[in-house]
Structure 1
Amino acid sequence: MAKESPPRPLRLALVGAGRGGSSLLEALEESETEIVAVCDRNPAAPGIAAAHRRGIPVHHDLEAFLAPCADADLVVDVTGDPEVGRRLAARLPPRVHVLDGTAARLLWELTRTTRAQAEAATRRNRRLERVYELAVALSATGDLHDAYQRVLRCALEVAEAPAGSVALLDERTGEMVLAAWRGFPEHFASFRRWRLRPGGLTTHILNRDSPTIIPDITALEEPVNPLLAEAGVRSVVAAPLRAQGRIVGILYVDDFAPRRFDEEAAWILGLLAEYAALALERLRLLEETRRMAVTDGLTRLANQQEFMRRLAEETERANRYGRPLSLITLDLDRFKAYNDRYGHLAGNELLQTLAATIQRVVRRSDLAARTGGEEFCILMPETETEEAARCAERLRREVAALADRYPERIRQAVTVSLGVATLPHHAEDAEALYRAADDALYTAKRGGRNRTVIHPDLAADGVPH
């Protein structure tokens, strides 16, 4: 049996290239319909330029237009001119159908609606594909901060919005913490925390299972985070981040003008938030595990393994660039006697108090570590001996004052002995720097305790205090 040939495309001619005709041309652009000719007596009509771009024959005289119309299946007249309709009916062959008036408008409306539906489906599929790409990327990354930025970029693309942020719930303090932001000025990050308020916008968002759409925050009765108002935010769609029934935070998408985000975008943001919350929680637990691997469990300072890694790393960097690197070693004086008298729990509490004091004294660029039972180290990049010695002395005085500051926790006066050494003045490599600071520490111990000793001054009493 002979194979049937596919039907040929519908051949259409268009009279009238104004707004309606131009819209019809646009709506039919991706269809299989073959447009054989376009006619409009106005050369500046918008549809004329569109026809030229697509290589469609253009006529400005109806008589010249009628010749190619004889090969068309359908002539659509959107001019609204009865005279044009009469001339087409009189001159065209009976097999050529003419649509004018209401019929032409109906065709245009059906074509426009079909195209709009196709565009909406394409947009929805593109948004869902973007969420899928995010899911793949999140499964591959091990960096929590990179994940925050990826989630935020995807959310802004899905909602076609200029700004947004990710805020996490700190369960310990009951505060929201800004984790990532895009599209805001630099000072936006200066307000990193805010407390949940009963009846406030943040509380309202967290209590909902689906995204919250706010077309204009100035019309709200609930208290609004002043950070949003200060940044000029007017409209918001916010999706709660929940992982296994636990509130993780909120994904915010913002605009600086009043706007009602479309329901489809909000729905897809809800899907994005569901997956993102699980992925972010997984990465948070992974990062917590990593942190625990390099952290002393009692004091929350770096542990000895992490300290030795950083010491080698910073020593190599200091030698490569010819920069100073100082190391302070310190030891609680008579800690064994304290432990024996008051018990291990009191001893652990003292170690925790000392660790908190060290954290309060050192800079953010320094690394504080617990390297033994009552032994601690402070690694100070880009620091000369004199500055390190001043830090050591301040720490010695702070520790000596603990018994007065925390009488209910510190059972007797406690002190520390400290040693200071600096690369390249006192050592050339990591092992020698550690040994030099340690030698200075034990010189301080032998010299009577509760003092600071700098490595070259091993025979001296140390830094005056």
Structure 2
Amino acid sequence: MAQTILILGTDPEKCQELRRILQEKVSDTVVTTAVGEQIPQQELSDTIIITAEERSTGVLYRHLLGRLEDQVRRAEFLGDLIRLFSSSMEVDEILERVAVKSTEVLGDTAFIILNSEGRLRLEAAFSTSQDRLVKVLMSAMNEGSEAIGGPLLRGVLENGSRVVIENVHESPVASEMQSFFEKHGYRSLIATPIRTKEKILGAFVSLSAGPRTLGEQDVQTATALSDLSAVALEHARMVSEMQRSAITDSLTGAYNTRFFHEVLAREAARAQRYGSPLSLLMIDVDGFKLVNDTFGHLVGNKVLTQVSRIIEKTVRNTDFVFRCGGDEFGVVLPGTSLEGAMHTADKIVQKVELSRILQALGYNGSLTVSIGASEYRKGSHFETLVAEADQALYASKRSTKNTARAKGK
């Protein structure tokens, strides 16, 4: 895209002479003159303005060259960032690089802050002054990420507005923000929203220790950094959803059988290496075939979904819940002994019975589950863990059902 240069002046001959020199010296440039005319400000956003009367040819050329070099530097800078997205970097690495690279053309410190379900999380940070960065990060740890931007950052995240402060001592800002600037020695700031079409994901914040003249190019650069960060985050979300879909049962939302064997093998290897406990629950819905035959498969599907939700709510966040086919579920419990697994199993049995799933769906009848539990023994194969849990499950179903049993008990 050609750069536009506007020469302002009152002497037509001098303006034309400068125009001729510039056209000879600088390629890919559109040079225009305005003699004694008023130019609307909105037309000048991407234009280099030269006042003919105030500059000798040498000074003019050096000034112009500096402006063009700055534009080339910014273009190369954005090109480097765009190339990051064709790399194999993880999203956190890309965001970290965005923060680092931004200090080449904007302020000396940069933060990327994400909004995670109403809570602010500092995702990336960099500063050319490590001492200043450490102080800011300590504030974020003690006071939360909102300490970095205060109410101004909230405005960016809630309204998608941009904030530009060239000199905090000359700009009306909230007292909380004034305190942040004074505490950490910053004078200027640009904050732009990181957003997709659907939502605002976070904010890119660039800070400088000294006052800065922040032009439209600086704001455009910050906006471009925000947009690139949004692309990286959206791509990571889509990849995560695809990966999750590949290992998830479409009906219940629990993990699927393929992932069950992968997780169990991994956790068994970890238990073997560190000597930590590992237990497994195998769960079967009692009389599920009768439910299907009596009420139909749609009701049966709803029953499986409700049972899966009860299991998910009963176990810990560190446990894994799987649908292993039909009406059978599995739960892998890392760091849990057989005693702890039986305690969890008993809670699941009780909650399923008390939830009265069939009645909640408008049908008569009770619904229960039977559970078998086993614990990993050092040196054994993970398939042994499955076989022993299955044996305990069969023993439970042969007895009273609606109960949990452990292998050999």
- Shared fold per TM-score greater than 0.5: yes
1:271 matched to 2:224: yes
CA contact (8 A) 2:194 2:204 kept: no
Against the structure 1 CA distance between its residues 116 and 318, is the aligned structure 2 distance closer, same or farther, given a 3 Å change threshold?
farther
For residue 387 of structure 1, what is the aligned residue in structure 2?
340
Q: Per-residue displacement from partner, 1:53-84 (whole Å, max 9, x unpaired)? A: xxxxxxxxxxxxxxxxxxxxxxxxxxxxxxxx
3-state SS, counterpart of residue 220 of structure 2: helix
3-state SS, counterpart of residue 139 of structure 1: coil
CA contact (8 A) 2:156 2:192 kept: no
For residue 252 of structure 2, what is the aligned residue in structure 1?
299
Q: Per-residue displacement from partner, 1:431-452 (whole Å, max 9, x unpaired)? A: 1111111111111111111111
For residue 137 of structure 1, what is the aligned residue in structure 2?
84
**How far did residue 382 of structure 1 move?**
2.2
Q: In 1, distance between residues paired with 2:327 and 2:203?
A: 44
CA contact (8 A) 1:325 1:382 kept: yes
**How far did residue 162 of structure 1 move?**
2.7
For residue 187 of structure 1, what is the aligned residue in structure 2?
141
Q: In 2, distance between residues paired with 1:281 and 1:415?
A: 42
Q: In 2, distance between residues paired with 1:139 and 1:122?
A: 26
CA contact (8 A) 1:294 1:305 kept: yes
**How far did residue 304 of structure 1 move?**
0.9
CA contact (8 A) 1:205 1:239 kept: no
Larger radius of gyration between Structure 1 and Structure 2: 1
Q: Per-residue displacement from partner, 1:321-375 (whole Å, max 9, x unpaired)? A: 3332211111122222223333333332332222222222222222111111221
Against the structure 1 CA distance between its residues 152 and 331, is the aligned structure 2 distance closer, same or farther, given a 3 Å change threshold?
farther
For residue 422 of structure 1, what is the aligned residue in structure 2?
375
For residue 165 of structure 1, what is the aligned residue in structure 2?
112
3-state SS, counterpart of residue 250 of structure 2: coil
Against the structure 1 CA distance between its residues 430 and 262, is the aligned structure 2 distance closer, same or farther, given a 3 Å change threshold?
same
CA contact (8 A) 1:238 1:253 kept: yes
CA contact (8 A) 1:370 1:377 kept: yes
TM-score w.r.t. length of structure 1: 0.60
Q: In 2, distance between residues paired with 1:367 and 1:254?
A: 41
Q: How many residues align?
A: 331
CA contact (8 A) 1:240 1:251 kept: yes
**How far did residue 168 of structure 1 move?**
5.4
Q: In 1, distance between residues paired with 2:331 and 2:143?
A: 29
Q: In 2, distance between residues paired with 1:401 and 1:252?
A: 49
- Counterpart of 2:292, as a letter, is N
- Counterpart of 1:423, as a letter, is Y
- Counterpart of 1:345, as a letter, is L
Higher-RCO chain (CA-CA 8 Å, sequence separation at least 6): 2
1:356 matched to 2:299: no
Against the structure 1 CA distance between its residues 438 and 203, is the aligned structure 2 distance closer, same or farther, given a 3 Å change threshold?
same
CA RMSD of aligned residues (A): 4.0
- Counterpart of 1:187, as a letter, is M
Q: Per-residue displacement from partner, 1:284-319 (whole Å, max 9, x unpaired)? A: 212211111011112222111111111111212222
Percent identical among aligned pairs is 27
Q: In 1, distance between residues paired with 2:205 and 2:62?
A: 28
